[in-house]
């Protein structure tokens, strides 16, 4: 059987739901017994997502092999219950860099290297390589951005060429938005019609249109879109807003999208087993009692708006764990800067069942985070610190329990008298020369757990593997001082004396990890640390 390809493109506006649609389609096709993989094509000139501002672009998702990618890769992993690699991610910058390096190495044999055809050819090579490496029956390719933008034209050209070469093996899905203006009260199809025609102008005809809107699509608008966009009414798929993104696979399944695509390919699925997914969604609906979690972070505020996408994997991991305990998650985003301007507000944390501090870089809001950590430590509120949240927990304990005045992380205060957190030794030269892109400890590293600790009890094994994204490490010179202050070092890198997990003695649940466990949580299998953190929060509730 030839490999098949589904291209997901977006219309009308960004954040329309292409990533969730791609991931959901992958979930339901996997449920039909097919081997599915997913590829994200980002239109940015950045070589990877590591240097992108999280308040503008959202979370940087890290794969096992250390690639810094778009947050949609996280949705692919969660929905497909798989582990992807750098093979599954590309940017415009990465594609151009490869072509230029090949040209410098005379790989084109002295030819004039041009944007077309050489850039689309490299994109096609990457897509086909991802399908081959992942041994996929179907490869879903999400093209970032919106049709009509200059940035993604070359990705669309590559997709057009693939369709031209293999017409029976390529399907296009346009995910578009149908607004309902409040002062009109009627769902409008015209923006999607324009999006469809704009896609046509690139030489591509959508096979299916997934219609995102506040409410379900009705028959008159379905027929209108079919007429003006050149598809059958059955190819117009209604995708209204849902209480949870995990309901989308079932929404698409109930509309028969999976079977319709397989029919288009001339393929057959091997049955349809969405029972585990349906049971999971039922668990979401049945959760009535809540568990209240405060996420104290740095990357929420963007102008007058809050961007929760900066921590999307953290948020989803909390949800997975809460639903596992039959609780409805109530998350509150707390900008750490609030506790710097209004220190008394830290008492508000008493209203929550648990407090989580996610990763971050830089000094903004750091004093507010340390103030919050001290409060939850002293008031026995369950705490989970991720990466920066672990480092600042060590700083807080050093200052306020070990009485090491001026203790800090050298990231913020290079001349601190007590450098609790230091530069990873083999990264010092990179930082000194301002080489920041792709220079961190990235990807999966093994960690040995200390028996009898909370971490060991949560995982139930002696050695684990977790993904990292950081330049700074705990300074082992302060290990004895902090152990005396009540800190337990419960996890260490197996090959070097690098601290990976700390926890607090005589506290209901206080754990900090140097890695990012949120990248490995799955809807049907919540991560052990999040599971136990929520268990402690439920007990407090």
Helix pair angle (18-30, 257-265), 10° resolution: 70
Q: Is 516 a catalytic residue?
A: yes
d(CA 228, CA 419): 65
Q: From the DSSP assignment, how many helices (H) and strands (E) are in the chain? A: 19, 23
Helix (H) or strand (E) holding 142: strand 138-143
**Residue linked to tokens 């059958």:** 232
Burial of 302 (0-12, 13-18, 19+ CB in 10 A): middle
Q: Could you confirm whether 387 is annotated as catalytic?
A: yes
Selected catalytic residue, list 387, 408, 447, 473: 387
> CA-CA distance, 278 to 283, in Å (whole number)?
9
Distance (Å, whole) CA 219 – CA 29: 26
DSSP character string of 256-305: THHHHHHHHHT---S----HHHHHHHHHHHH--SEEEEEEEESS-EETTE
**Count of positions (residues) in the chain:** 541
Please give the Cα distance from 16 to 145 (Å, whole number).
Answer: 10
Gap between the terminal Cα atoms of the chain: 54
Residues 6+ apart with CB under 8 A from 293: 318, 322, 329, 330, 331, 332, 352, 353, 354, 355, 356, 534, 537
**What Rg value do the Cα atoms of the chain yield, rounded?**
25
From the candidates 118, 324, 456, 516, which is the catalytic residue?
516
Q: Which of 122, 316, 518, 532 is catalytic?
A: 518
Nearest to 284 by CA among 241, 318, 327, 254: 327
Alpha-carbon gap, residue 39 to 59, rounded angstroms: 17
Q: Can you tell me the distance from the alpha carbon of 268 to that of 257, in angstroms, rounded to the nearest whole number? A: 13
474, 518 contact by CB (below 8 A): no
Which residues are designated catalytic?
387, 516, 518
């Amino acid at each position: 059987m030839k490999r098949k390809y589904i291209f997901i493109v977006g219309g009308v506006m960004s954040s329309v739901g292409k990533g969730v649609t791609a991931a959901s389609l992958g979930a339901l096709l996997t449920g039909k017994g097919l081997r599915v993989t997913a590829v994200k094509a980002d239109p940015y000139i950045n070589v990877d997502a590591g240097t992108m501002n999280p308040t503008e672009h959202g979370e940087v998702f890290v794969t096992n092999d250390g690639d810094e990618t778009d947050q949609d890769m996280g949705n692919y992993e969660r929905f497909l219950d798989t582990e992807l690699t750098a093979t599954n991610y590309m940017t415009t910058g990465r594609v151009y860099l490869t072509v230029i390096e090949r040209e410098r190495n005379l790989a084109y044999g002295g030819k004039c290297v041009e944007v077309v055809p050489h850039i689309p050819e490299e994109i096609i090579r990457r897509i086909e390589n991802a399908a081959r490496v992942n041994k996929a029956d179907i490869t879903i390719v999400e093209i970032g951005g919106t049709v009509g933008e200059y940035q993604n034209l070359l990705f669309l050209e590559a997709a057009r060429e693939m369709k031209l070469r293999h017409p029976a093996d390529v399907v296009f899905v346009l995910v578009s938005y149908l607004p309902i203006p409040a002062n009109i009260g009627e769902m409008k199809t015209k923006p999607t019609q324009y999006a469809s025609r704009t896609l046509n102008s690139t030489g591509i005809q959508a096979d299916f249109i997934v219609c995102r809107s506040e409410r379900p699509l009705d028959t008159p608008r379905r027929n209108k879109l079919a007429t003006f966009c050149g598809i059958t009414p059955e190819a117009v798929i209604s995708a209204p807003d849902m209480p949870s993104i995990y309901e989308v696979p079932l929404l698409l399944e109930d509309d028969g999208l999976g079977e319709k695509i397989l029919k288009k390919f001339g393929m057959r699925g091997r049955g349809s087993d969405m029972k585990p997914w349906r049971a999971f969604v039922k668990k979401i609906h049945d959760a009535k009692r809540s568990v209240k979690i405060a996420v104290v972070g740095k990357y929420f505020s963007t102008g007058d708006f809050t961007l929760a996408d900066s921590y999307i994997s953290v948020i989803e991991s909390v949800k997975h764990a809460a639903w596992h305990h039959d609780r409805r998650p109530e998350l509150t985003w707390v900008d750490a800067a609030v506790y710097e301007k209004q220190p008394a507000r830290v008492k508000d944390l008493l209203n929550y069942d648990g407090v989580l501090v996610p990763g971050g870089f830089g000094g903004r809001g750091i004093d507010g985070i340390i103030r919050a950590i001290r409060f939850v430590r002293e008031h026995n509120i369950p705490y989970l610190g991720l990466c920066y949240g672990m480092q600042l927990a060590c700083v807080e304990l050093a200052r306020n329990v070990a009485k090491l005045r001026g203790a800090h992380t050298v990231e913020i205060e290079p001349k601190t008298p007590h450098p609790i957190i230091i530069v990873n030794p083999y990264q010092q030269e990179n930082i000194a020369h301002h080489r920041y892109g792709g220079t961190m400890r990235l990807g999966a590293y093994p960690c040995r757990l200390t028996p009898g600790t909370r971490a060991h009890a949560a995982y139930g094994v002696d050695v684990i593997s977790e993904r990292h994204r950081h330049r700074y490490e705990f300074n082992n010179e302060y290990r004895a001082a902090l152990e005396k202050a009540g800190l337990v070092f419960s996890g260490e890198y197996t090959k070097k004396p690098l601290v990976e997990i700390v926890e607090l003695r005589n506290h209901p649940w206080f754990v900090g990890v140097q890695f990012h466990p949120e990248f490995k949580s799955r809807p049907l299998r919540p991560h052990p640390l999040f599971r136990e953190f929520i268990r402690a929060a439920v007990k407090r509730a």
